[in-house]
Chain A
Amino acid sequence: EPEVTQTPSHQVTQMGQEVILRCVPISNHLYFYWYRQILGQKVEFLVSFYNNEISEKSEIFDDQFSVERPDGSNFTLKIRSTKLEDSAMYFCASSEGSWVTEAFFGQGTRLTVV
């Protein structure tokens, strides 16, 4: 069964460093998403991506964040200068299209900023 895969499963980085979280969405899907969950809090929407551009983003998704689909299969989230408060579980998701209600999620990348 096709699934969304994320790497790495756990990333530790020093404050101020850049990190790139990687995701491979399901191959025939057209919409891609990043969500995050700070420990003990809700899963929060960060950004959605369609047709090689951002279709929607939340207030959390500021200039420190960027997304890219560099090679037609990977979908990456970059945090330019990490802060302690960026420590969270980051989930990637994909769906066939906006008309489809269901999104498929990856297992998450736990980012720890020290």
Chain B
Amino acid sequence: AQTVTQSQPEMSVQEAETVTLSCTYDTSESDYYLFWYKQPPSRQMILVIRQEAYKQQNATENRFSVNFQKAAKSFSLKISDSQLGDAAMYFCAYRSTNTGNQFYFGTGTSLTVIP
């Protein structure tokens, strides 16, 4: 089964600075999707960014970008110019293209943004 590991339970960043959240995964599949979801306190999980494994180019969404290293099975999230509203729990997730629709999640990283 696929596993997703987030080794940083908590991270903090100064407002306007850059922070990188780590994620590694384990799979024998060659084609899959990777996601970062953000969950603000008492709110639903919101998709931040996604990456298709067949694409070599790293995904970017405004201040959010990923460093996708397929061979190393690494998928880190970089948040540039951090804002107070970025404070949330961030989940890394894997989704197979072959074995159904379920997501495999990491344990999450709680990000604090310091004013």
B103 touches A48 (CB 8 A): no
The CA-CA distance from A101 to B33 in the complex, in Å, is 7
Q: Can you offer 30 A-B residue contacts whose CB atoms are under 8 A?
A: A3-B44, A33-B101, A35-B103, A35-B105, A37-B105, A40-B107, A41-B107, A42-B4, A42-B105, A42-B106, A43-B105, A43-B108, A45-B103, A48-B100, A55-B100, A56-B100, A56-B102, A98-B101, A101-B50, A101-B95, A102-B47, A102-B50, A104-B47, A105-B37, A105-B44, A105-B45, A105-B46, A107-B42, A107-B43, A108-B44
Interface size of A by Cβ–Cβ distance < 8 Å? 28
Neighbour of A33 across the interface among B42, B52, B93, B102, CB < 8 A: B102
Docked complex: B36-77 residues within 8 A CB-CB of A = 37, 42-47, 50, 52
Interface 1/0s, chain B 89-115, versus A by CB < 8 A?
001010100001111111110000000
Residue of B at shortest CB range from A46? B102
Report which B residues bind A (CB closer than 8 A): 4, 33, 35, 37, 42-47, 50, 52, 91, 93, 95, 100-108
